[in-house]
A and B are shown apart, each in its own frame.
Chain A
Amino acid sequence: MKKIFAIAEYTVKENIRHKVFYTILLFALVIIISSVLFSMLSGEEETRVILDIGLGAIEIFAFLSAIFAAVGLVLGEMENKSISLILTRPVRRFEYIWGRYSGILSISLFNILLMSSGLLFLLFIKGWSFDFRFLLAVTFIFLKVVIISALAILISLISTSPISSISMTFFLWVLGHVTDHLKYLNHVLLEEGVKITIFLKAIYYLLPNFQYLNIKDYIGYPNPLVGTTIFWQVAYSLAYASVATWLSVLVFSRKEF
């Protein structure tokens, strides 16, 4: 546990010393602030627009920073071989992966909290009355990041170049948001007489289901959420992420350096 913590700690250190980290945060804050401008231009309710743009920005930038950390740091360390000075010490392979992963999650959590406070501040200035679902929305953005970071690590371990890992992760991120279309695709194919239902079903269950976690769509609308759904959504995210991370451990344990 101590070693996992040590590795997580230096992952955080590594991240905050990178310029990319600040660039991402800065960009996010600029977009969140400029949402005020958009809100004035559009005819809709001001806070609604700020909320939409703000949460969207938080999600995208949290995703970008997680990808940067997972691919840049983990793959980078394997490529430049500095990993060999870690693995030749009494560190188990799973400790390395979980340490890296928890470090990346800590950074993401910090990023999300910072960006959300910025957004909240702005909303309050505009006279928004607090809705607890804001917290839920932010939590669920984090859950998505929990899943995508685990996948990004797994992909970095399998693929050979940063470019391919990043594009693969992007691809999964997008696909994960449109999984429901697979059902539609299946429907259309069946009508055409093509039966690949099992195959599509398999893909449907293998892909991360981000649509399932899109809580921010609900804020401001009548609330369709109940406690049990939230419980299952959280359980789903944690289970998905830990399976992916243990798969990473499995792949990593066989790797030579």
Chain B
Amino acid sequence: MIPDRLESNLRQGFRESLLPKLGLVLLASILIMAIFAPVLATHNPTRTGYLDENGNSYPPLGTSYTTEIGQDGEFVEVEVESTSDHLLGTNDIGQDVFSRLVYGARTSMLVGLLGTGLAVLIGVPFGLVSGYYGGRVDDVMMRIADTMLAFPSLVLALALIGVFGSAGFGIPDPLTRFGLIDGMPESTTLPGTVTVVVALVTWVWFARVARGEAMSVRNEEYVTAARSMGASNWTILFKHVLPNSLTPVIVLATIQVAAVILLESSLSFLGFSGTTLSWGYDISRGQGYQRTSWWISMVPGLGIVFAVIAVNLLGDWLRDALDPNIEGEGGGA
């Protein structure tokens, strides 16, 4: 699937630079976090009420903060100390921030991978057909793609969620289901609508890349030869054109995972997600509390930053080695 020459480029890029290694390590850690969330989490991430006797959130280990507590109409300043029980403190309603960080990785990775995969499944066939047939078919299909591009992806995503609502459904978690771990959620919620929606708003980029590849091989000798041997268009598309476009699609997909993670977090930040166990949602929880409980929004944000950096580093590595000329959409939301 990946030709030898590209493979050696990949190796060389990996050997020469620290960045792909860093990306790989980061991504591996985040994936481990996502998969073994029930093992790594110290508390049930959905359980509330881990607050001190005055109802204050705990700060991260080693820090403290001062807040005011009203007693009999009078306010007194109290110092809230951290506790070793809650490494990264607790949020406004007393959920363990570290455990939520760990579980948030699941949502991010699930949506990032599934959403991108779905976008590939929609975009690549679309682009291949458009580029391979060319002519009027291509014109019509490209106008459709242009139309999709005229929507900012976040805006279109919001519109779609506005229509379909944001449903999530539970995926049972084998670790807890079979009683290996106690006290953790029995299933993980996959924000289904969000996953579909991010695919619906990002597939166009795959269509563009696949179309370009299909156009470039359409008149190649081996395709013409296959055609003259009586191969049907579909056979040619799948046997010859598709494999040829895989490399750039893989590169783009990697880059797009980053964009999708950002998109998902934006949607859940705005409250349009099917799950509350999400980094974006947690950031929005901390929104009113920056002055005192800064960690509530800072910690999940760092989770996003690291996840996106990891994916971007790998994406850069692949892009440099395989194809320097791919544009995808930024995830800047």
Q: Report whether chain A binds chain B.
A: no
